[in-house]
Amino acid sequence: MEMNMGKFSEKLVGLLELAKKKKNVLEYQEISDYFKDQPLDVDQMEKVFDFLDSGRTDWPGDIESVFRIAETTQNTRNIDTKYFTVTFFKKGTAHLVFKDMELLEKFNLFAGQKKGWLPPSYGKKKYADMNAEEQHVVDSFQGRERYEYVMSHADYYLDTGAQQSLMLASGMEG
């Protein structure tokens, strides 16, 4: 039974938060434990990042083929995928290192907005125009300086119209 995209996205948000706390390195067992209640399809992870990436990252392969080749050749170190590099270890663990921190941040912003973790005014007001509660949420999430950077690059980070269109075109549920 395949996990629906909404449930998968929720799970991925939590996993990425865990990765952020651990300098973007996760043990394979941590990932397995996190998704133990649902089967994890590697294509789902790639699909979510493809949709947020909006075609910005050019990469000639697909994640399943890369892992199949790595398994066949018994390559376990620094396996290059479109969005991260992975190293598998004999003890059954793996380290994922995300390549594009801005894309990871975009994912976290999108998920935070969809889940209601960010104030409704996020991305719509200057930091100085926010009330104290809104500023507190922004400060705990990313800080004023990073918020102002995101606002100055809103076409990339906050282009929800394009994201919604991509989501619909790819068959993802919102």
Q: Mean pLDDT of residues grouped by 10 in the chain (174 residues)?
A: 52 69 63 62 69 82 83 89 86 81 86 81 93 92 94 84 45 44
CA 75 to chain centre: 25
pLDDT digits (tens, 9 = 90+) for 26-51: 665 566 566 667 654 556 667 777 87
pLDDT of the residue at 141: 87
pTM: 0.63
The pair of three-digit structure tokens given for residue 166, joined into one six-digit string: 């991509």
